[in-house]
Protein backbone atom coordinates (compact mmCIF):
# COMPACT_ATOMS: atom_id res chain seq x y z
CA UNK A 1 0.00 0.00 0.00
CA UNK A 2 2.80 2.41 0.92
CA UNK A 3 4.73 1.60 -2.26
CA UNK A 4 1.69 2.29 -4.44
CA UNK A 5 1.01 5.55 -2.63
CA UNK A 6 4.67 6.52 -3.05
CA UNK A 7 4.51 5.88 -6.81
CA UNK A 8 1.36 8.05 -7.03
CA UNK A 9 3.12 10.72 -4.93
CA UNK A 10 6.10 10.85 -7.32
CA UNK A 11 3.77 10.97 -10.36
CA UNK A 12 1.89 13.90 -8.82
CA UNK A 13 5.17 15.69 -8.09
CA UNK A 14 6.35 15.30 -11.69
CA UNK A 15 2.97 16.46 -13.03
CA UNK A 16 3.08 19.46 -10.70
CA UNK A 17 6.52 20.45 -11.98
CA UNK A 18 5.34 20.08 -15.58
CA UNK A 19 2.20 22.18 -15.07
CA UNK A 20 4.17 24.91 -13.30
CA UNK A 21 6.69 25.04 -16.15
CA UNK A 22 3.86 25.41 -18.70
CA UNK A 23 2.57 28.57 -17.06
CA UNK A 24 3.50 31.97 -18.44
CA UNK A 25 5.89 34.05 -16.37
CA UNK A 26 4.42 37.37 -15.29
CA UNK A 27 7.16 38.96 -13.22
CA UNK A 28 10.15 38.81 -15.52
CA UNK A 29 11.73 36.33 -13.14
CA UNK A 30 15.44 37.10 -13.20
CA UNK A 31 15.10 38.70 -16.59
CA UNK A 32 14.03 35.53 -18.37
CA UNK A 33 10.80 36.93 -19.78
CA UNK A 34 7.76 34.83 -20.45
CA UNK A 35 7.46 34.85 -24.19
CA UNK A 36 9.53 31.85 -25.21
CA UNK A 37 6.64 30.04 -26.89
CA UNK A 38 4.37 32.93 -27.69
CA UNK A 39 1.51 31.06 -29.38
CA UNK A 40 1.40 27.97 -27.18
CA UNK A 41 -1.28 27.78 -24.50
CA UNK A 42 -2.07 31.45 -24.29
CA UNK A 43 -5.27 33.16 -23.36
CA UNK A 44 -7.31 33.62 -20.27
CA UNK A 45 -9.07 30.26 -20.28
CA UNK A 46 -5.79 28.34 -20.54
CA UNK A 47 -4.24 30.31 -17.71
CA UNK A 48 -7.34 29.61 -15.61
CA UNK A 49 -7.09 25.87 -16.46
CA UNK A 50 -3.39 25.75 -15.56
CA UNK A 51 -4.02 27.62 -12.29
CA UNK A 52 -6.78 25.21 -11.29
CA UNK A 53 -4.68 22.20 -12.28
CA UNK A 54 -1.77 23.50 -10.23
CA UNK A 55 -4.01 23.99 -7.20
CA UNK A 56 -5.51 20.49 -7.56
CA UNK A 57 -2.07 18.86 -7.92
CA UNK A 58 -0.73 20.83 -4.93
CA UNK A 59 -3.61 19.63 -2.73
CA UNK A 60 -3.08 16.05 -3.96
CA UNK A 61 0.66 16.32 -3.28
CA UNK A 62 0.13 17.46 0.30
CA UNK A 63 -2.56 14.83 0.87
CA UNK A 64 -0.31 12.00 -0.33
CA UNK A 65 2.52 13.40 1.80
CA UNK A 66 0.38 13.29 4.93
CA UNK A 67 -0.94 9.81 4.08
CA UNK A 68 2.60 8.50 3.58
CA UNK A 69 3.62 9.81 7.00
CA UNK A 70 0.55 8.37 8.72
CA UNK A 71 0.94 4.97 7.06
CA UNK A 72 4.67 4.76 7.77
CA UNK A 73 4.13 5.62 11.46
CA UNK A 74 1.41 3.00 11.75
CA UNK A 75 3.73 0.30 10.40
CA UNK A 76 5.85 0.05 13.56
CA UNK A 77 6.63 1.62 16.91
CA UNK A 78 8.12 5.05 16.84
CA UNK A 79 11.85 4.98 17.35
CA UNK A 80 13.87 7.93 18.49
CA UNK A 81 17.63 8.14 18.37
CA UNK A 82 17.58 10.15 21.59
CA UNK A 83 15.72 7.39 23.46
CA UNK A 84 18.19 4.73 22.35
CA UNK A 85 21.20 6.43 23.94
CA UNK A 86 24.75 6.35 22.65
CA UNK A 87 25.83 3.55 20.37
CA UNK A 88 27.81 0.81 22.11
CA UNK A 89 31.52 1.02 21.50
CA UNK A 90 33.26 -2.18 20.48
CA UNK A 91 36.79 -0.77 20.45
CA UNK A 92 38.71 0.18 23.55
CA UNK A 93 41.55 2.05 21.85
CA UNK A 94 42.07 3.32 18.35
CA UNK A 95 43.91 1.04 16.01
CA UNK A 96 47.47 2.20 15.43
CA UNK A 97 49.19 1.07 12.25
CA UNK A 98 52.23 -1.10 12.75
CA UNK A 99 55.65 0.41 12.26
CA UNK A 100 57.01 -0.23 8.80
CA UNK A 101 59.51 -3.01 8.56
CA UNK A 102 62.81 -2.06 7.07
CA UNK A 103 63.19 -3.90 3.82
CA UNK A 104 66.52 -3.40 2.12
CA UNK A 105 66.16 -1.61 -1.16
CA UNK A 106 67.19 -3.65 -4.18
CA UNK A 107 70.71 -2.99 -5.28
CA UNK A 108 70.65 -0.81 -8.35
CA UNK A 109 73.97 -0.16 -9.99
CA UNK A 110 74.66 3.55 -10.16
CA UNK A 111 76.46 4.87 -13.19
CA UNK A 112 79.99 5.93 -12.52
CA UNK A 113 80.43 9.67 -12.28
CA UNK A 114 82.80 11.06 -14.89
CA UNK A 115 85.99 12.42 -13.46
CA UNK A 116 86.75 15.99 -14.47
CA UNK A 117 89.93 16.48 -16.43
CA UNK A 118 90.75 19.76 -14.74
CA UNK A 119 89.51 21.13 -11.43
CA UNK A 120 86.51 23.39 -11.80
CA UNK A 121 86.91 26.96 -10.56
CA UNK A 122 84.96 27.95 -7.48
CA UNK A 123 81.74 29.87 -8.04
CA UNK A 124 82.03 33.62 -7.45
CA UNK A 125 80.68 34.93 -4.17
CA UNK A 126 77.19 36.42 -4.36
CA UNK A 127 77.05 40.17 -4.75
CA UNK A 128 75.80 42.35 -1.92
CA UNK A 129 72.07 43.15 -2.11
CA UNK A 130 71.19 46.36 -3.89
CA UNK A 131 70.14 49.42 -1.91
CA UNK A 132 66.33 49.97 -1.97
CA UNK A 133 65.26 52.63 -4.42
CA UNK A 134 64.06 56.00 -3.14
CA UNK A 135 60.47 56.99 -3.96
CA UNK A 136 60.25 59.33 -6.93
CA UNK A 137 57.72 61.59 -5.23
CA UNK A 138 57.68 62.60 -1.57
CA UNK A 139 55.21 60.66 0.53
CA UNK A 140 52.25 62.55 1.97
CA UNK A 141 52.24 62.89 5.72
Residue 120 in this model has a pLDDT that exceeds 60: yes
pLDDT of the residue at 53? 93
Provide mean pLDDT across the span 95-113: 70
On whether residue 92 sits in a domain, the answer given is no
On whether residue 120 sits in a domain, the answer given is no
Given pLDDT bands bounded at 50, 70 and 90, which one contains residue 25?
confident
On whether residue 103 sits in a domain, the answer given is no
On whether residue 13 sits in a domain, the answer given is yes
Domain that holds residue 63: 1-23+46-75
CB 5 within 8 A of CB 70: no
Alpha-carbon distances of 88 from 79, 80, 85, 91, 95, rounded to whole Å: 17, 16, 9, 9, 17
On whether residue 69 sits in a domain, the answer given is yes
Given pLDDT bands bounded at 50, 70 and 90, which one contains residue 129?
confident
Q: Could you tell me what percentage of the chain is helix, strand and coil, using 3-state DSSP and rounding each to the nearest 5?
A: 40, 0, 60
Counting the structural domains of the chain, the total is 1
Determine the Cα–Cα distance for residues 27 and 7; give it in Å rounded to an integer: 34
pLDDT of the residue at 28? 56
- Give the global pTM: 0.46
Q: In percent, how much of the chain has pLDDT > 90? A: 26
Amino acid sequence: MIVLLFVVHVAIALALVGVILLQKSEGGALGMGGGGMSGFMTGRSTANLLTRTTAFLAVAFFATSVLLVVLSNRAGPSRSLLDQGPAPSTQEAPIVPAAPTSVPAPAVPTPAAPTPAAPTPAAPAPAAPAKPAEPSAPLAK
